[in-house]
Amino acid sequence: MADACTIPDETSPAGSVQCPECKRINEVLARVGDRWSVLVIISLARYGTLRFNELKRNLGISQRMLSLTLRQLVRDGLIEREQFPTIPPKVEYSLTAMGTSFREPVMALGQWALDNLDNIDDARARFDEVVEA
Amino acid sequence: MADACTIPDETSPAGSVQCPECKRINEVLARVGDRWSVLVIISLARYGTLRFNELKRNLGISQRMLSLTLRQLVRDGLIEREQFPTIPPKVEYSLTAMGTSFREPVMALGQWALDNLDNIDDARARFDEVVEA
DNA sequence: CGGTATCCGAACCGATACTG
DNA sequence: CAGTATCGGTTCGGATACCG
């Protein structure tokens, strides 16, 4: 990996110019960092393989958004789509190798989210109380 | 931490009902998981403390979005705002303890993003080529 | 310097209806 | 079952102008 790809590069004086890493991270997160993508990845990481409607029920996502999200993730090479020509049709989704490598940071983020939801709620309550006064 | 908060809970039969963890993760990610928040956290994790316009230049974010994002993050207890009553005014932002604990999963995500941007671009190119045919 | 207020187009996203 | 198409409300987010 090139030097330009390591995050802790503190050569520039803090706020001089736009940090190139942020620009690139931004690009990737714009693609795979939205909430539905993250949740689809988490679900597939948990269950291995899921059908369309299983994901739909699992996530509480609308049919439209799931369809769009899945197509994006397939296009980005994070998940795989296997279609069985049966009647009624059956389509299974699972993680690719890259999707699996995405699993770890995503799961860490998800776990942090679970661990800190209450803390955030508390912080918000305190903040709002102060602001009202 | 309660049992209900662990992600790898495979008790339900895959797609039966909405998984409660996904619901909660969704809630937190809706708050602190947006792109600007993530990038602010990454920048503060890198530099420790930054002023408003340093962050602005660093991220390539509009003044409006930065202002909104910072206020949210302060409200959620992830960052701290210190104001110096000088002329011209000076305001410094840094991570709180909770923000610092958020740092690790976020940095992991950012690093993954950097490492895989090219892979994603390649996957997209391949996908689009196939679709055109 | 560090904001806030307003405007306005773009993107998001759920609801609904329809298809193979 | 696994989608696609269309519509309409909400949110996002940049641009601009203004303030302490």
How many C-beta atoms surround the C-beta of residue B16 within 10 A? 11
pLDDT band at A19 (very low <50, low <70, confident <90, very high): confident
CA distance, residue A43 to nearest chain B CA (Å): 8
Q: Which residues contact B106 (CB under 8 A, 6 or more apart)?
A: A109, B38, B41, B42, B45
Question: What is the rounded average pLDDT of the residues A79-87?
Answer: 96
Interface test with A, best of B58, B69, B70 (most A CBs within 10 A): B58
Q: What is the pTM of this model?
A: 0.83
Domains of chain B plus CATH, in order, are: 1-32 (no CATH), 34-132 (1.10.10.10)
pLDDT tens profile A44-54? 998 999 999 99
Q: Please check whether residue B66 touches A, CB under 8 A.
A: no
Q: Check residue A10 and give its pLDDT.
A: 45
Question: What is the rounded average pLDDT of the residues A50-65?
Answer: 94
Least confident of A71-85, A112-126, B64-78: A112-126
Question: What is the rounded average pLDDT of the residues A110-127?
Answer: 90
Burial A77-105 (b: 16+ CB within 10 A, else e): bbbbeeeeeeeeeeeebbbbebbebbbeb
Q: Check residue B16 and give its pLDDT.
A: 58
Alpha-carbon dihedral sign for residues A105, A106, A111, A115: positive
Q: State, as a whole number of angstroms, the distance between the CA of A22 and the C1' of D3.
A: 36
Interface test with A, best of B6, B120, B129 (most A CBs within 10 A): B120
Q: B2 pLDDT exceeds 60? A: no
Average pLDDT, chain A: 84
Q: Please check whether residue B128 touches A, CB under 8 A.
A: yes
Q: Check residue A30 and give its pLDDT.
A: 78
Q: Check residue B64 and give its pLDDT.
A: 97
User: Is A27's CB within 8 Å of B123's CB?
Assistant: no
Q: Check residue A6 and give its pLDDT.
A: 37
pLDDT band at A96 (very low <50, low <70, confident <90, very high): very high
Q: Check residue A13 and give its pLDDT.
A: 52
